[in-house]
Amino acid sequence: MRVVIAEDDALLREGLALLLGSEGIDVVATSTDATGLLEDVDTHLPDVAVVDVRMPPTHTAEGIAAAVEARRRHPDLRVLVLSAHVEPAFAAELMAGGAAGLGYLLKERVGRVEAFLEALQRVADGGTAIDPLVVEQLLTRQHPASALDRLSPRERDVLGLMAEGLGNAAIAGRLVVTEGAVHKHIRSIFAKLDLPPGEQLDRRVAAVLRHLEGRPPA
């Protein structure tokens, strides 16, 4: 896997490169701002760009805009955005055009290396990785009388993991149940939430997110 990193904090940039490098991931270039990122992507055509949200000059949401632009130029590029704090609006902006091959994680998740590498791999494979905290905020933000109330606690857990972008096998692993059980839960959830069943994984994530954000199904 070939990766570029855009992160303005030197220590963190080097730490990330070191970590990924020692895991056998090829870090082909690093940059400190959006312009550098776009140049790196144009030059090296990496598989994945790992991008910090806040970068110079305004230190607000440059990373999101840069990621969207990089994807516009290279639709096959996968992007994993790292953020110091959770902002569901950033995730929504990033994934406005679909969630496939995109990730949005809190920076400190990188420290849990196994889970981070798993999320990175998922994004590289065209899947989705959304931070559990974003999902949690989306879930708790729902109106009291929403359709979510009809879900059982177990189904809520499954929905949350689905929204993070996990596949059936991974969900089964996390919840320590069989894949068959996960299947049953998912069918039940989709029925209760009025979502079209039986879709591909990334479309499924998008549908769940759209539902959680209160937008109409595409």
Chain residues in the site for other proteins (CB under 8 A): 9, 11-12, 15-16, 18-19, 22-23, 54, 59, 84, 107-108, 110-113, 116
Question: Before 216, cis peptide (omega within 30)?
Answer: no
Under DSSP, is residue 91 helix (H, G, I), strand (E, B) or coil?
A: helix
Is the CB of 4 or the CB of 209 nearer to other proteins?
4
C-beta of 173: minimal distance to other proteins in Å? 19
Query: Counting Cβ atoms within 10 Å, is residue 74 exposed (0-12), middle (13-18) or buried (19+)?
Result: middle
Distance CA 98, CA 41 (A): 20
CB of 8 to other proteins, least distance (A): 8
Least distance (Å) from other proteins to the CB of residue 5?
12
CB of 108 or CB of 149, closer to other proteins: 108
**Alpha carbon distance 211, 145 (integer Å):** 14
Which helix or strand (DSSP H or E) is residue 128 part of? strand 128-130
Q: Quick one: 84 or 191, whose CB is closer to other proteins?
A: 84
Question: Which lies closer to other proteins via its Cβ, residue 54 or residue 211?
Answer: 54
Minimum Å gap between C-beta 37 and other proteins is 18
Residue type, 102: L
